[in-house]
Structure 1
Amino acid sequence: MLQQQNKYLEMTIQTATPAQLLIMLCDGAIRFCRKAIDSLNENKHQEAHNYLMRVQDIINEFVITLDKKSSVAEGLLQLYDYFIHRLMEANINKKAEPAEEVLQFLMELKNTWVEANKLAIAQKTTGDASHA
Protein backbone atom coordinates (compact mmCIF):
# COMPACT_ATOMS: atom_id res chain seq x y z
CA MET A 1 0.00 0.00 0.00
CA LEU A 2 2.78 2.43 0.94
CA GLN A 3 4.61 1.63 -2.30
CA GLN A 4 1.46 2.51 -4.29
CA GLN A 5 1.09 5.78 -2.40
CA ASN A 6 4.72 6.65 -3.10
CA LYS A 7 4.27 5.93 -6.82
CA TYR A 8 1.12 8.08 -6.86
CA LEU A 9 2.92 10.92 -5.08
CA GLU A 10 5.90 10.65 -7.43
CA MET A 11 3.60 10.79 -10.48
CA THR A 12 1.70 13.75 -9.01
CA ILE A 13 4.93 15.67 -8.49
CA GLN A 14 6.28 14.83 -11.94
CA THR A 15 3.13 16.02 -13.69
CA ALA A 16 2.45 19.10 -11.54
CA THR A 17 2.83 22.62 -12.87
CA PRO A 18 5.27 24.94 -11.08
CA ALA A 19 2.30 26.65 -9.40
CA GLN A 20 0.91 23.31 -8.22
CA LEU A 21 4.33 22.35 -6.84
CA LEU A 22 4.49 25.64 -4.96
CA ILE A 23 1.05 25.00 -3.47
CA MET A 24 2.04 21.44 -2.49
CA LEU A 25 5.18 22.76 -0.80
CA CYS A 26 3.08 25.33 1.03
CA ASP A 27 0.72 22.56 2.18
CA GLY A 28 3.73 20.73 3.60
CA ALA A 29 5.01 23.84 5.36
CA ILE A 30 1.56 24.44 6.88
CA ARG A 31 1.28 20.81 8.01
CA PHE A 32 4.76 20.80 9.60
CA CYS A 33 4.19 24.20 11.20
CA ARG A 34 1.00 22.94 12.84
CA LYS A 35 2.83 19.85 14.11
CA ALA A 36 5.63 22.06 15.46
CA ILE A 37 3.12 24.25 17.30
CA ASP A 38 1.43 21.20 18.81
CA SER A 39 4.81 19.80 19.84
CA LEU A 40 5.87 23.10 21.41
CA ASN A 41 2.61 23.28 23.33
CA GLU A 42 3.21 19.73 24.58
CA ASN A 43 6.84 20.54 25.54
CA LYS A 44 8.13 17.99 23.03
CA HIS A 45 11.09 20.15 22.13
CA GLN A 46 13.07 17.74 19.95
CA GLU A 47 9.97 16.90 17.93
CA ALA A 48 9.15 20.60 17.58
CA HIS A 49 12.73 21.30 16.48
CA ASN A 50 12.47 18.65 13.75
CA TYR A 51 9.19 20.06 12.43
CA LEU A 52 10.43 23.66 12.55
CA MET A 53 13.52 22.65 10.58
CA ARG A 54 11.31 21.01 7.95
CA VAL A 55 9.30 24.23 7.60
CA GLN A 56 12.55 26.18 7.23
CA ASP A 57 13.74 23.73 4.57
CA ILE A 58 10.55 24.31 2.58
CA ILE A 59 10.86 28.08 2.90
CA ASN A 60 14.47 27.82 1.73
CA GLU A 61 13.14 25.91 -1.29
CA PHE A 62 10.81 28.87 -1.96
CA VAL A 63 13.86 31.16 -1.92
CA ILE A 64 15.88 28.92 -4.25
CA THR A 65 13.09 28.60 -6.81
CA LEU A 66 11.99 32.24 -6.73
CA ASP A 67 12.30 34.09 -10.02
CA LYS A 68 14.62 36.87 -8.88
CA LYS A 69 13.62 39.01 -11.90
CA SER A 70 9.97 39.06 -10.84
CA SER A 71 8.52 42.36 -9.66
CA VAL A 72 7.49 40.75 -6.35
CA ALA A 73 10.77 38.88 -5.76
CA GLU A 74 12.31 41.38 -3.33
CA GLY A 75 9.16 41.50 -1.19
CA LEU A 76 8.89 37.72 -1.12
CA LEU A 77 12.55 37.35 -0.18
CA GLN A 78 12.05 39.71 2.74
CA LEU A 79 8.92 37.80 3.79
CA TYR A 80 10.71 34.45 3.60
CA ASP A 81 13.60 35.86 5.62
CA TYR A 82 11.12 37.03 8.24
CA PHE A 83 9.53 33.55 8.34
CA ILE A 84 12.94 31.94 8.93
CA HIS A 85 13.72 34.47 11.67
CA ARG A 86 10.42 33.82 13.47
CA LEU A 87 10.76 30.03 13.16
CA MET A 88 14.27 30.22 14.62
CA GLU A 89 12.87 32.36 17.42
CA ALA A 90 10.18 29.74 18.14
CA ASN A 91 12.83 27.02 18.15
CA ILE A 92 15.31 28.85 20.38
CA ASN A 93 12.76 30.14 22.90
CA LYS A 94 10.55 27.00 22.75
CA LYS A 95 7.50 29.23 22.22
CA ALA A 96 4.63 28.53 19.82
CA GLU A 97 3.63 32.18 19.19
CA PRO A 98 6.24 32.97 16.51
CA ALA A 99 5.40 29.73 14.67
CA GLU A 100 1.68 30.55 14.94
CA GLU A 101 2.37 33.89 13.25
CA VAL A 102 4.26 32.15 10.43
CA LEU A 103 1.42 29.63 10.09
CA GLN A 104 -1.08 32.45 9.53
CA PHE A 105 1.17 34.01 6.87
CA LEU A 106 1.68 30.64 5.16
CA MET A 107 -2.07 30.05 4.97
CA GLU A 108 -2.61 33.51 3.46
CA LEU A 109 0.25 32.97 1.03
CA LYS A 110 -1.17 29.61 -0.03
CA ASN A 111 -4.58 31.17 -0.66
CA THR A 112 -2.93 33.87 -2.77
CA TRP A 113 -1.07 31.27 -4.84
CA VAL A 114 -4.21 29.18 -5.28
CA GLU A 115 -6.11 32.22 -6.56
CA ALA A 116 -3.21 33.28 -8.81
CA ASN A 117 -3.08 29.75 -10.24
CA LYS A 118 -6.83 29.80 -10.93
CA LEU A 119 -6.47 33.16 -12.65
CA ALA A 120 -3.54 31.92 -14.75
CA ILE A 121 -5.51 28.83 -15.79
CA ALA A 122 -8.55 30.94 -16.67
CA GLN A 123 -6.41 33.35 -18.72
CA LYS A 124 -4.71 30.46 -20.50
CA THR A 125 -8.06 28.84 -21.26
CA THR A 126 -9.43 32.15 -22.56
CA GLY A 127 -6.27 32.72 -24.61
CA ASP A 128 -6.41 29.19 -26.05
CA ALA A 129 -10.08 29.63 -26.99
CA SER A 130 -9.40 32.93 -28.80
CA HIS A 131 -6.68 31.27 -30.91
CA ALA A 132 -8.97 28.44 -32.06
Structure 2
Amino acid sequence: MYDVRSRYLADTVATVGPARLLTMLYDRMLLDVERAEVAQRQGDRVEGTAQLTHAQEIIAELIASLDTGVWDGGPGLLSLYSFLLTELIEASMTGDADRTAGCRELIAPLRDAWHDAAAAVAPAPASEPVAAGALMGDLGVG
Protein backbone atom coordinates (compact mmCIF):
# COMPACT_ATOMS: atom_id res chain seq x y z
CA MET A 1 0.00 0.00 0.00
CA TYR A 2 1.20 3.50 -0.86
CA ASP A 3 2.18 5.38 2.27
CA VAL A 4 2.42 9.14 1.68
CA ARG A 5 4.42 9.77 4.85
CA SER A 6 7.00 7.11 3.97
CA ARG A 7 7.31 8.46 0.44
CA TYR A 8 7.75 12.03 1.71
CA LEU A 9 10.42 10.90 4.17
CA ALA A 10 12.25 8.90 1.50
CA ASP A 11 12.16 11.87 -0.90
CA THR A 12 13.41 14.23 1.82
CA VAL A 13 16.33 11.99 2.73
CA ALA A 14 17.21 11.44 -0.93
CA THR A 15 17.40 15.16 -1.67
CA VAL A 16 19.30 16.58 1.32
CA GLY A 17 23.01 17.18 1.26
CA PRO A 18 25.49 15.14 3.28
CA ALA A 19 25.73 17.67 6.13
CA ARG A 20 21.96 17.79 6.60
CA LEU A 21 21.68 14.01 6.33
CA LEU A 22 24.29 13.58 9.03
CA THR A 23 22.47 15.93 11.40
CA MET A 24 19.17 14.19 10.65
CA LEU A 25 20.73 10.84 11.55
CA TYR A 26 22.10 12.22 14.81
CA ASP A 27 18.75 13.80 15.67
CA ARG A 28 16.97 10.51 15.11
CA MET A 29 19.58 8.45 16.95
CA LEU A 30 19.29 10.71 19.98
CA LEU A 31 15.49 10.48 19.83
CA ASP A 32 15.70 6.67 19.62
CA VAL A 33 17.97 6.49 22.67
CA GLU A 34 15.79 8.89 24.66
CA ARG A 35 12.70 6.83 23.83
CA ALA A 36 14.54 3.62 24.72
CA GLU A 37 15.57 4.97 28.09
CA VAL A 38 11.98 5.99 28.90
CA ALA A 39 10.68 2.59 27.81
CA GLN A 40 13.31 0.75 29.85
CA ARG A 41 12.54 2.79 32.96
CA GLN A 42 8.86 1.94 32.48
CA GLY A 43 9.69 -1.74 32.18
CA ASP A 44 8.81 -1.96 28.48
CA ARG A 45 11.73 -4.03 27.29
CA VAL A 46 10.24 -4.71 23.85
CA GLU A 47 9.91 -1.01 23.02
CA GLY A 48 13.31 -0.22 24.52
CA THR A 49 14.93 -2.90 22.39
CA ALA A 50 13.15 -1.70 19.25
CA GLN A 51 14.35 1.86 19.79
CA LEU A 52 17.92 0.76 20.56
CA THR A 53 17.96 -1.48 17.49
CA HIS A 54 17.17 1.51 15.31
CA ALA A 55 19.89 3.56 17.03
CA GLN A 56 22.33 0.68 16.39
CA GLU A 57 21.40 0.73 12.70
CA ILE A 58 22.15 4.44 12.55
CA ILE A 59 25.52 4.15 14.28
CA ALA A 60 26.40 1.22 12.00
CA GLU A 61 25.63 3.43 8.99
CA LEU A 62 27.75 6.23 10.45
CA ILE A 63 30.61 3.75 10.87
CA ALA A 64 30.23 2.49 7.32
CA SER A 65 30.16 5.98 5.81
CA LEU A 66 32.97 7.49 7.89
CA ASP A 67 36.06 8.24 5.82
CA THR A 68 38.81 8.25 8.45
CA GLY A 69 41.31 9.67 5.96
CA VAL A 70 39.46 12.96 5.45
CA TRP A 71 40.57 14.51 8.72
CA ASP A 72 42.91 13.61 11.56
CA GLY A 73 40.02 13.15 14.01
CA GLY A 74 38.51 10.37 11.88
CA PRO A 75 40.18 7.41 13.61
CA GLY A 76 39.19 8.75 17.03
CA LEU A 77 35.61 9.24 15.89
CA LEU A 78 35.58 5.68 14.55
CA SER A 79 36.72 4.43 17.96
CA LEU A 80 33.98 6.42 19.64
CA TYR A 81 31.37 5.09 17.20
CA SER A 82 32.54 1.53 17.82
CA PHE A 83 32.36 2.00 21.58
CA LEU A 84 28.91 3.52 21.27
CA LEU A 85 27.68 0.63 19.13
CA THR A 86 28.93 -1.85 21.73
CA GLU A 87 27.21 0.10 24.51
CA LEU A 88 23.93 0.31 22.57
CA ILE A 89 24.00 -3.45 22.01
CA GLU A 90 24.75 -4.14 25.68
CA ALA A 91 22.04 -1.72 26.83
CA SER A 92 19.59 -3.48 24.57
CA MET A 93 20.56 -6.99 25.66
CA THR A 94 20.47 -6.16 29.36
CA GLY A 95 17.62 -3.66 29.38
CA ASP A 96 19.87 -1.35 31.40
CA ALA A 97 18.34 2.13 31.40
CA ASP A 98 21.43 3.61 33.07
CA ARG A 99 23.65 2.29 30.30
CA THR A 100 21.20 3.71 27.77
CA ALA A 101 21.42 7.06 29.58
CA GLY A 102 25.20 6.87 29.24
CA CYS A 103 24.80 6.45 25.49
CA ARG A 104 22.49 9.45 25.41
CA GLU A 105 25.12 11.48 27.25
CA LEU A 106 27.67 10.59 24.56
CA ILE A 107 25.35 11.19 21.62
CA ALA A 108 23.91 14.58 22.65
CA PRO A 109 27.17 16.58 22.54
CA LEU A 110 28.22 14.82 19.33
CA ARG A 111 24.90 15.74 17.77
CA ASP A 112 25.36 19.35 18.84
CA ALA A 113 28.90 19.43 17.44
CA TRP A 114 27.74 18.05 14.08
CA HIS A 115 24.95 20.63 13.94
CA ASP A 116 27.57 23.35 14.55
CA ALA A 117 29.88 21.87 11.90
CA ALA A 118 27.03 21.61 9.39
CA ALA A 119 26.13 25.25 9.99
CA ALA A 120 29.76 26.22 9.43
CA VAL A 121 29.86 24.55 6.01
CA ALA A 122 26.35 25.61 4.99
CA PRO A 123 26.02 26.56 1.33
CA ALA A 124 26.73 30.15 0.44
CA PRO A 125 23.80 32.48 -0.28
CA ALA A 126 22.47 32.43 -3.84
CA SER A 127 24.57 35.49 -4.68
CA GLU A 128 27.73 33.44 -4.05
CA PRO A 129 27.61 30.24 -6.10
CA VAL A 130 29.30 27.14 -4.73
CA ALA A 131 31.09 24.77 -7.10
CA ALA A 132 29.28 21.48 -7.59
CA GLY A 133 30.47 18.95 -5.06
CA ALA A 134 32.39 21.56 -3.03
CA LEU A 135 30.75 20.45 0.22
CA MET A 136 30.94 16.72 -0.43
CA GLY A 137 33.11 15.07 2.14
CA ASP A 138 33.52 18.19 4.32
CA LEU A 139 31.97 16.33 7.24
CA GLY A 140 33.61 13.00 6.53
CA VAL A 141 30.59 11.62 4.66
CA GLY A 142 29.46 11.65 1.07
TM superposition score category, shorter chain reference: 0.7 to 0.9
Aligned partner of 2:20 in structure 1 is 20
Amino acid at match of 2:115: V
TM-score after normalising by structure 1: 0.84
Aligned partner of 1:9 in structure 2 is 9
Amino acid at match of 1:49: T
Aligned partner of 1:100 in structure 2 is 101
Aligned partner of 1:46 in structure 2 is 46
> CA offsets per residue over residues 4-39 of structure 1, 9 Å max, x none?
333322221121011111111111111111111011
Aligned partner of 1:82 in structure 2 is 83
TM-score after normalising by structure 2: 0.79
- What is the Cα-based RMSD across aligned positions, in Å? 2.1
Could you tell me which runs of 5 or more consecutive residues in structure 2 were left unpaired when the two chains were aligned. Answer: 131-142
- How many corresponding residue pairs? 127
Supply the distance in 1 between the matched residues of 2:124 and 2:47 (Cα, whole angstroms): 45
Q: Say which structure is richer in helix.
A: 1
Q: Which runs of 4+ in 1 moved over 4 A?
A: none
Supply the distance in 1 between the matched residues of 2:60 and 2:29 (Cα, whole angstroms): 11
Alignment of 1:51-62 (within 5 A): 51-62=51-62
Amino acid at match of 1:36: A
Amino acid at match of 1:48: G
> CA offsets per residue over residues 75-128 of structure 1, 9 Å max, x none?
11111111112222222332111111111221111111111111112xx528x7
Aligned partner of 1:29 in structure 2 is 29
What is the identity percentage for the equivalent residue pairs of Structure 1 and Structure 2? 25
How far the C-alpha of 1:130 sits from its partner, in A, is 9.4
- The structure, 1 or 2, with the larger RCO (C-alpha pairs under 8 Å, 6+ apart) is 2
